[in-house]
Copies of this chain bind each other. A is one copy, B any other.
Amino acid sequence: MRRATEIDLPLNERPDGMPLQRWLYGELRAAILQGRLGPGARLPATRDLAARHGVSRGTVLGVFAQLAAEGYLSGAVGRGSFVASELPDGRFEAAPASAALPHTRRKAGTRAAAANANAANPGIALSARGRLLARSAFAIEGRSFPSRAFRPSQPDLQSFPFALWARVAARRSRLLNRSMLADGEAQGYRPLREVIAEHVRVTRGIACTADHIAIVGSVQQVIDLAARLWLDPGDAAWMEDPGYHGARLVLEAAGARIAAVPVDMYGIDVAEGRRLAPHARLAYVTAGRQAPLGPALSLERRLALLDWAHAQGALVIEDDYDSEYRFEGRPLAALKSLDKADHVIYCGTFSKLLFPALRIAYAVLPERLVDPFVSAWSLTARHVPLDQQATLHAFIAEGHAGRHVRRMRELYGERAEALREAARRHWTGLLALPPIVAGLDAPAFLPAGADDALAARLAAEAGIETRPLSSYAIERAAPAGLVLGFAGVGADEIDAGARTLARVLQRMLYRT
């Protein structure tokens, strides 16, 4: 190490009113820049400097820290502070806004270039679990607007009472109490939790209060957090096969070993689940309308599932993603309504009920799971924006949400009928459409053996959005088919889309 010089440092007098620290900082920095304190020079001990200039030692320490942060000093406690051998000389200044940027990220679509860059500089490697986490089930780029035939899982945004929502939001903003600027309850804005509890009590038969509700941004967050709270890596989780890939990917990313349980016309086959993975710690089910095939879980199986969960101490996640929209038969109560032993987390979302960009969902939690869930939510995410929650609360409490859903139920029922009509007209021998009793989308079946992924690709090239059933398959081959959204576009577009799709399939299946 370079030999340091102890020096006696003369400083200019402090101007009246200048804080001690600012004065000392300026004097020392000037001494360094003018070379009076040269590279490698040892600074006086903080204690001596403090005593000599009548300042506290804390002030001197603060100045030294600032100078070190800026690169003028280096050193370590106990060994003294030294002028840096190389002065920062501006390299620590903020770059001008107009500076040329070293990176300009590729646009989507040129991933090959990115892969090459990665090969040249391996940089930071994904963890094993990170490789499972860095797979999105969703459209990263956002959704084009307006929607097109037959984009799945889309409510009709053209029919959303947009001006009304804006009015409620604006009024909320004006009336907002300043206290709404402070951190809110992690569990969610209580008035919103209260109207949600009322809603699920009445429409879904779930006995609960606001204390059981947690407000989150998305159902994915509930699945992710629940899997981490109640599963250790390698624990088994039941998934419906075929089943909702968004849930499967997030469960896998959380370290769950997926037990793929077959689905038939009564929903998930509980007996088969018990055989395949009797000691699973979690089951994810779409009991109201199985995603993607559509059947509701039979009462017999609901009871069997709950019995199993109770006996095993397993958690059941009921994703009730579009149950509000039921066009035939009586509305079904939720699986959670039968949950006497309190093992079911029920999830609902306003992204499908109102609009996707809202990003508010909720969980109805078993009594004993509320505290751990809310603690974990608070640790990893804090809470959902408060004024967003307040606007949604007003929109529900004033009856607008209920009115909108009733209107949409009727509209989507008509569109389901339009899809049936179009199927009869255009799809004979190409696509079979089972009855549509509920939801925003429906599966339609291709002739056995057809390649539905190819069909979806060809349809996309013709401007028609679908999702192949094979993309929902886990271990078993799913029936060949396409999931078709019918709620987001009008009857005319449904008919035109059906015709286009028929043309595509005709060519693919029969090479004509």
Contacts and interface: CB of A to CB of B under 8 A. Distances in A.
B375 A140 contact: yes
A26 to B, nearest CB: 9
Interface string A325-360: 000111111000110011100000001000111111
Taking the full assembly, how many copies of this chain does it contain?
2
9 tightest Cβ-Cβ pairs between the two chains A and B: A71-B299, A69-B296, A105-B211, A94-B205, A62-B435, A68-B298, A170-B170, A145-B179, A134-B372
19 contacts: A69-B295, A74-B266, A77-B265, A92-B337, A92-B338, A94-B202, A94-B331, A95-B206, A103-B209, A103-B367, A129-B233, A130-B229, A133-B379, A134-B376, A145-B179, A181-B355, A182-B355, A360-B385, A387-B388
A289 B445 CA distance: 61
B357 A182 contact: yes
B201 A379 contact: no
Contact of A328 (B19, B169, B332): B19
A103 to B, nearest CB: 5
Contacts of A253: 228, 376, 379-380
Given A178-B145, A208-B101, A22 B124 contact: no
Interface string A105-149: 100000100100110011111111110011111111111111100
B387 A357 contact: yes
Interface in A246-304: 246, 249-250, 253, 264-267, 269, 281, 294-300
A207 B101 contact: yes
Interface in A150-178: 157-158, 160, 162, 165-167, 169-170, 173-174, 176, 178
Interface residues of A, number: 177
Contacts of A315: 124
Contacts of A178: 145-146, 157-158, 160, 162
Given A92-B337, A126-B229, 12 more contacts: A22-B329, A61-B265, A63-B435, A70-B329, A99-B207, A123-B369, A127-B231, A127-B232, A136-B379, A165-B173, A170-B170, A182-B355
Interface in A423-469: 432-435, 437
Contacts of A249: 379
Given A298-B69, A332-B70, A337-B94, A103 B140 contact: no
A383 B111 CA distance: 22
Contacts of A381: 217-218, 220-221, 381
A382 B209 CA distance: 27
Nearest to A432: B58
A149 B235 CA distance: 47
Given A128-B232, A299-B68, A356-B182, A217 B217 contact: yes
B269 A76 contact: yes
Contacts of A144: 182
Contacts of A134: 229, 371-373, 375-376
B313 A181 contact: no
A435 to B, nearest CB: 3
B328 A22 contact: yes
Contacts of A202: 94, 96-97
A226 to B, nearest CB: 9
A442 to B, nearest CB: 11
Contact of A166 (B173, B332, B358): B173
Given A117-B368, A266-B65, A166 B157 contact: no
Given A209-B101, A359-B382, A166 B176 contact: yes
A445 to B, nearest CB: 9
A475 interface: no
Interface stretch (A183-191, A395-403, A490-498): A183-191
